[in-house]
Amino acid sequence: MALDFEKIFQAALDAGVEAARPGGEAAVAWVRESAKANEATLRSIAEGVAKRQISKETAEMLLRESARALQSEAAALSVIIKASAQAAINAFLNSLFGALSSALKLAL
Amino acid sequence: MRYYFAVQTYSASGAFLTMRTLVVLLLFGAALTGCAIPLSAYDQASIDRTTEISRSILALYQEMMMIDPDERADAVRGSLRDAHGDIETQIRLHLLREQARALNDEGALVAENLLASWQAFSMNHFSGEETALTDATLEIERQILERHLRSAFVAEESKKLARGGTQTNQTPE
């Protein structure tokens, strides 16, 4: 029975990389969006303080909560990364074991 | 005779080794498939709760900002008092449900953060501090709450990616 392992693994790897692509793009987009949102919040706080619309006390509270929002954004990023990794593993294994199962049926 | 037997054995063991390799690989794969990355399944109910909380928060901020800045403190202590309490209840319920879901550390963290920020802002509204209810303060508070809510939506929607689906950054209606 001829079994081209190299070809099977390459196909599985390609399937894994392809499955991870949407997650990779979503992660990059989310990091950009999160950075922009954080910048906008900090800018608004600075402007509010400069215009005396926000006191030092309130500004400190808002800065603390902005940092907390950044934590939430990091948690969402973590989910995006985990989900894309899972998609890549699933695609890799499905491709690999689909090919190996076919080979095994032929061998039997 | 001995030579012939040796060739037969070699040939049979070669085929046996190839099949054994395949079986081992398949078993290894089955074991790997069981070792999934710790991530809860997508839950539409979580999206629905987040949508409801978003609606309540956005409506309250919209209402506060429509009121004359000098009259906001009275409104917060009067007609808008219940809305503050209702939103906290909604977020607390959401947090409990998120904490109860297995493999959902991130969803629970976002809900905890949302509750903590809401409590800080709510306390600020009732503080009587001079700039607690200015346009600038309210706009920034709303921005920060939207960041938590967006994170909750993105975290939940992204779970579809694990099944090879597409992520849709659903926003509050």
What was the ipTM of the complex prediction?
A: 0.89
On whether both B26 and B109 belong to a single domain, the answer is: no
On whether both B20 and B103 belong to a single domain, the answer is: no
> What is the pLDDT, as a whole number, of residue B31?
57
CB A51 within 8 A of CB B134: no
On whether both B115 and B147 belong to a single domain, the answer is: yes
Instruction: Supply A22's token pair.
Output: 């949407």
Domain count, chain B: 2
Is residue B43 over pLDDT 90?
yes
> What is the pLDDT, as a whole number, of residue A99?
86
Residue B172 lies in a domain: no
- φ and ψ at residue B44, rounded to 5 degrees: -60, -35
Question: A104–B23: do the CB atoms touch at under 8 Å?
Answer: yes
On whether both B3 and B61 belong to a single domain, the answer is: no
Q: Which residue has the higher pLDDT, B157 or A106?
A: B157
> What is the pLDDT, as a whole number, of residue A44?
98
Is residue B20 over pLDDT 70?
no
Residue B154 lies in a domain: yes
On whether both B31 and B48 belong to a single domain, the answer is: no
Give B19's pLDDT tier (boundaries 50, 70, 90). Answer: low
- Which of B25, B33, B106 is facing A78, going by the closest CB pair? B106
Contacts of B138 in chain A (CB under 8 A): none
Q: What does the alpha-carbon distance between residue B57 and residue A76 come to, in Å, rounded to a whole number?
A: 20
Q: Give the closest residue to A96 by CA, choosing from B103, B14, B36, B32.
A: B32
On whether both B20 and B76 belong to a single domain, the answer is: no
Question: B131–A75: do the CB atoms touch at under 8 Å?
Answer: no
Query: Is B162 an 8 Å CB contact of chain A?
Result: yes
Is residue B124 over pLDDT 90?
yes
> What is the pLDDT, as a whole number, of residue A103?
77
Instruction: Supply A12's token pair.
Output: 């599985």
Closest CA of chain B from A7, distance in Å = 15
Residue B8 lies in a domain: yes
> What is the pLDDT, as a whole number, of residue B76?
97
Instruction: Supply A79's token pair.
Output: 């989910």
How many angstroms separate the Cα of B86 from the Cα of each of A34, B53, B92, B118? 28, 10, 10, 12
pLDDT cut 90: percent of chain B above it = 70
Give B29's pLDDT tier (boundaries 50, 70, 90). Answer: low
On whether both B110 and B26 belong to a single domain, the answer is: no
CATH number at residue B100: 1.20.120
Q: Tens digit of pLDDT per residue, chain A (108 long)?
A: 566 778 888 988 898 888 888 888 999 999 999 999 999 999 999 999 999 999 999 999 999 999 999 999 999 999 999 999 999 988 898 898 888 888 777 776
Domain that includes residue B108, residue range: 44-163
Give B38's pLDDT tier (boundaries 50, 70, 90). Answer: confident
In this prediction, residues B107-132 reach a mean pLDDT of 97
> What is the pLDDT, as a whole number, of residue B9?
41
> What is the pLDDT, as a whole number, of residue B161?
86
Give B28's pLDDT tier (boundaries 50, 70, 90). Answer: low
Is residue B156 over pLDDT 80?
yes
On whether both B83 and B145 belong to a single domain, the answer is: yes
> What is the pLDDT, as a whole number, of residue B53?
98
Give B171's pLDDT tier (boundaries 50, 70, 90). Answer: very low
> What is the pLDDT, as a whole number, of residue B2?
43
On whether both B129 and B56 belong to a single domain, the answer is: yes
On whether both B100 and B150 belong to a single domain, the answer is: yes
